[in-house]
A and B are shown apart, each in its own frame.
Chain A
Amino acid sequence: MDDRLDLLLPGLVTRDDDLETEFEALLGETSTLAFRVAFGVLRHQQDAEDVAQESFAKAFRHFRRLRDRTRFRAWLVRMAWRTALDRQRSNRRRGARELVVDGSALTEAARADGLADQAARDRAAALWTAIDALPEKLRLVVVLSGIQGHDHREVATLLRIPEGTVKSRMFLARQQLKETLR
């Protein structure tokens, strides 16, 4: 059957195969980024993984419509961010899970830097509380800047906004964070 399809529709089958190969390559490059973006909103590993999976499934469904493949990262980041916000809202509505700092993730991160003590955990919890208090636009810029050492230009590319806007938002976000953490 597949052989016959190949004979009848060679162009279509090849195109589908190309799409899948291309998507697979992009998935390998961006899987951690999607997870971290989701974690930046939810701060829960399991939820972040669910959101990342959902984002990739959505991305695959609509991959044909994305004409400029160089924009895949930005597209995926926005999708993961939106999906994570939706999940956060639904979690809050249900009230089933409180937004607390995920201990396992923090421990892992803190262990890497040798800060696996209660003071570091408290500091991190305070930092997340301060980030949560930021307006959404500022929060997204802060989270993306903190992920994988993105500089302003990369964040501007991801969000498709001018670099100057990223700088000003980062400045405002830092001010607010400092005030909250003082």
Chain B
Amino acid sequence: MTSDELDRALEEALRVEPPVGYLARVRARVAAEQTATATRYTWRPIGAMAAAGVVLVVGGLLLERDDDHGRLATNTATVGTVSAPGTSSRRVVGRDVVQVPTVTRNRGASAVPLERRPGHAADDAGNAAPNADRPAELLISPDDSEGLRLLRALPEAALAVPVIESAGPQTPQFSRIDVSPIQLDPLAELTPLTLGELQ
């Protein structure tokens, strides 16, 4: 077979006309694709807005939860001073907020704002605090602070401590129970021969 014959045979083999209605079907397919694309583009902004809404709601809930944690930490870190009765001077000193990572069971590391105690002589950078000469103050809860003030006032005011008697039922009776001790036999010593047999 010569090259010309081969080329002619190839052209004949590939001279295939598309079936009737082919172009119309292709146009219909492209039109369907247009509609599908338009629908996709219509739903895309709606989907994006819905996703943004969900993100906002979840973010708001998380922020609210973090605020609750921060309030709790602030309450427990409130600085109180013990003073004489009648001169209550509980106060919050030092509002420097320090980000301290804490680890809880359910969540990973999270930053809870805590308050810096005024008694700290230096900060993380090594700079001396302005109130470094002041003695360190106790860091206790308000309830404990009230209790300590009362205890301190007792000897000064010569207050009689009321004895609270138990108003409950009678002391329960206990009976003695004899428990015999468990005795264990000593282990038999193994000789090299026995060991060999066991192996």
- Residues B134-156 near A (CB distance < 8 A): none
Q: How far is the CA of A57 from the CA of B34 in the complex (A)?
A: 9
Interface members, chain A 109-150 (any B CB < 8 Å):
109-110, 112-113, 115, 123-124, 127-128, 131, 142-143, 145-147, 149
Instruction: Mark the stretch among A34-42, A65-73, A81-89, A92-100 that contacts chain B.
Output: A34-42
A49 touches B9 (CB 8 A): no
Interface size on A, residues (CB 8 A): 44
Pair A31/B16 contact, Cβ less than 8 Å: no
Is B6 within 8 A of A149, CB to CB?
A: no
Cα(A174)–Cα(B9), bound, Å: 12
**Cα distance A131–B6 in the bound complex, in angstroms:** 11
Q: Mark B1-32, 1 if CB is under 8 A from A, else 0.
A: 10100110111111111110011011101101
Q: Chain B CB within 10 Å — which of A23, A35, A112, A124 has the most? A: A35
Contact at A146–B22, with CB atoms within 8 Å? no
Contacts of B37 in A (CB 8 A): 60-61
B4 smallest CB distance to A (angstroms): 11
- Interface residues of chain B: helix, strand, loop or mixed (majority): helix
Interface size class of B (residues with CB under 8 A): 20 to 34
B33 at interface by CB-CB < 8 Å: yes
**Interface pair A146/B11, CB less than 8 Å apart:** yes
Report the bound CA distance from A36 to B33 in whole Å: 22
Docked-complex contact B25 and A182, CB < 8 angstroms: no
If the complex has contacts A124-B9, A181-B1, are A27 and B30 also in contact, measured as CB distance less than 8 A? Answer: yes
Known: A27-B27, A60-B33, A61-B33. Is A147-B14 also a contact (CB below 8 A)?
yes
Instruction: Note all chain B residues with C-beta closer than 8 A to A32.
Output: 17-18
Tell me whether B29 and A53 are in contact (CB under 8 A).
yes
A31 touches B23 (CB 8 A): yes
- Taken together as a complex, chains A and B put the C-alpha atoms of A128 and B1 apart, in Å, by 15
Q: Which of A35, A60, A146 contacts B13 (CB 8 A)?
A: A146
User: Are A31 and B18 interface neighbours, CB within 8 A?
Assistant: yes
Asked if residues A112 and B15 are in contact (CB atoms below 8 Å), the reply is yes
Q: Are B1 and A49 in contact (CB under 8 A)?
A: no
Residues of A within 8 A of B29 (CB): 53, 56-57
Interface: A11 (CB within 8 A): no
- Taking a contact as CB atoms under 8 Å apart, the answer to whether B10 and A142 are in contact is yes
Residues of A within 8 A of B6 (CB): 174, 177-178, 181
Q: Could you give, for residues 26-55 of chain A, a 1 whenever the CB lies within 8 Å of some chain B CB and a 0 otherwise? A: 011001100110011000010011001100
CA distance A49 to B20 in the complex (A): 11
Question: Contacts A31-B18, A35-B18, A53-B25 hold; do A145 and B30 have CB atoms under 8 A apart?
Answer: no
The answer to whether B34 touches A20, judged by C-beta atoms less than 8 angstroms apart, is yes
Looking at the assembled complex, report how far the CB atom of A169 sits from the nearest CB atom of chain B, in whole angstroms.
Answer: 14
With beta carbons under 8 angstroms apart, the residue of B7, B22, B30 that contacts A35 is B22
Residues of B within 8 A of A28 (CB): 23
Is there contact, CB below 8 Å, between A36 and B26? Answer: no
* A161: B residues at CB distance < 8 A: none
Shortest distance in angstroms between A97's beta carbon and chain B's nearest beta carbon? 17
B12 touches A109 (CB 8 A): yes
Q: Who on chain B is nearest to A128 by CB?
A: B13
Q: Which of A109, A142, A178, A181 is B16 in contact with, Cβ under 8 Å?
A: A109
Q: Which of A31, A110, A174 contacts B22 (CB 8 A)?
A: A31
- A32-B37 Cα distance, complex, nearest whole Å: 25
Once A56-B30, A60-B34, A177-B6 are accepted as A-B contacts, the answer to whether A49 and B22 lie under 8 Å apart by CB is yes
Cβ–Cβ < 8 Å partners of A127 in chain B: 9-10, 13
Q: A108 interface residue, CB < 8 Å from B? A: yes
- In angstroms, Cα B8 to Cα A112, docked, is 13
